[in-house]
């Protein structure tokens, strides 16, 4: 099995063993994480992925707030399109138009050959589904994953939406996926470890008799789409690199009703559950603060959590 970054990376696929090294205690022969202080963000065109973990200053957090808020507003707008009969391509068009009208660009468009402005993953699709001509149907659940780049900063977030009345099992899964993400986020504070995030997610999913997809993970973000460190959705407490104030990354667990195994479709992008069970995912971009964490991608309308009445949104 291999780990790949959750948001559209196909070429960077280090083995799961290397991630276990990163998520272990600092023993002889194991990789020791290094950190880079970035008190003033460089020009966006010069930003590069590094193996070291970046520690950002206040200007970076301000940039992430703007980019995250814009992405959240875009996902708020998507809610009005989630209804029986909507082609997924219509969601893609909306994201394109929204980004253009706000001076931003979709990070996924043209990324590693990806042809769309967002990802739309329905029912048993785990992630990276294409927003094509397929139409939403009553009782579908769909994840919409959007990353907008504003002034060089990447706001990355995804949400689950239900078309009409979902089945009880689907509704339960969506709530579990959101709570799993939030438990991971609530584990974030200076002095904690990356393994604490994965442990919080994994233990809650197991408690609810669901499984955590291990083939994908969160990632550092900021002026680079995918940066260090990897944020695994499973792990052991008190292991892995230390969380420090100024880190910025995504938390984005994918939770299955059935087994955790996934299969890649022939398009080499779309991942589906091998047993065809339902899958759900939520994602936020967050920063580590002196007090704990800051979520950059919360909905200004409060639409980021399950339980939103889309009928009211459509009215």
Q: Which residues are annotated as a binding site?
A: 128, 145, 156, 219, 226, 252, 283
How far apart are the C-alpha atoms of 136 and 297, rounded to whole Å? 25
User: Which residues fall in the annotated binding site for substrate?
Assistant: 128, 226
The long-range contacts involving 132-136, CB below 8 angstroms and separated by at least 24 positions, are 132/87, 132/88, 132/89, 133/87, 133/88, 133/89, 134/87, 134/88, 135/85, 135/86, 135/87, 135/88, 136/82, 136/83, 136/84, 136/85, 136/86, 136/87, 136/88, 136/163
List, in sequence order, every residue forming a beta bridge with 248; answer none if it has no partner. Answer: 287
In Å, how far are 9, 143, 250, 288 from 215, measured between CA atoms?
12, 17, 16, 25
Centre a 10 Å sphere on the Cβ of residue 112 and count the other Cβ atoms it contains. 13
| Both structure tokens of 75 | 């996902």
Q: Phi and psi dihedrals of 286, rounded to 5? A: -135, 165
Asked if 2 and 215 count as a contact pair (C-beta separation under 8 A), the reply is yes
The DSSP code sequence of 176-191 is HHHHHHHHHHHT--TT
User: Which residues fall in the annotated binding site for a divalent metal cation?
Assistant: 145, 156, 219, 252, 283
Question: Cα Rg for the chain, rounded, in angstroms?
Answer: 18
CA neighbor of 249 nearest in space, from 293, 205, 209, 213: 293
DSSP state of 88: H
Q: According to DSSP H, which parts of 49-160 are helical?
A: 58-79, 88-101
| Both structure tokens of 139 | 């009782």
């Amino acid at each position: 099995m291999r780990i790949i970054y959750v948001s559209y990376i196909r070429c960077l696929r280090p083995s799961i063993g290397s991630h276990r090294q990163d998520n272990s205690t600092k023993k002889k022969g194991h990789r020791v994480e290094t950190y880079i202080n970035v008190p003033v963000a460089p020009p966006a065109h010069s930003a590069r992925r590094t193996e070291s973990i970046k520690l950002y200053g206040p200007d970076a957090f301000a940039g992430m707030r703007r980019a995250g808020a814009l992405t959240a507003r875009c996902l708020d707008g998507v809610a009005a399109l989630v209804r029986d009969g909507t082609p997924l391509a219509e969601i893609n068009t909306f994201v394109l138009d929204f980004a253009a009208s706000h001076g931003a660009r979709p990070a996924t468009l043209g990324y590693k050959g990806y042809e769309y402005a967002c990802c739309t993953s329905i029912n048993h699709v785990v992630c990276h589904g294409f927003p094509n001509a397929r139409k939403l149907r009553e009782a579908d659940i769909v994840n919409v994953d959007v990353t907008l780049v504003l002034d060089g900063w990447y706001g990355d977030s995804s949400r689950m939406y239900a078309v009409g009345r979902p089945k009880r099992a689907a509704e339960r899964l969506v709530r579990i996926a959101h709570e799993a993400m939030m438990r991971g986020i609530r584990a974030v504070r200076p002095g904690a470890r990356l393994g604490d995030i994965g442990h919080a997610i994994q233990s809650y999913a197991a408690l609810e008799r669901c499984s955590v997809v291990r083939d994908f993970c969160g990632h550092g973000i900021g002026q680079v789409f995918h940066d260090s460190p990897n944020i695994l959705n499973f792990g052991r407490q008190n292991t892995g690199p230390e969380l420090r104030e100024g880190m910025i990354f995504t938390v984005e667990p994918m939770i299955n009703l059935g087994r955790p195994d996934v299969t890649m479709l022939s398009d080499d992008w779309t991942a589906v559950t091998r047993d065809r069970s339902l899958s759900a995912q939520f994602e936020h971009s967050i920063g580590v603060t002196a007090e704990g964490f800051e979520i950059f991608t919360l909905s200004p309308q409060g639409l980021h959590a399950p339980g939103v009445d889309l009928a009211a949104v459509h009215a």
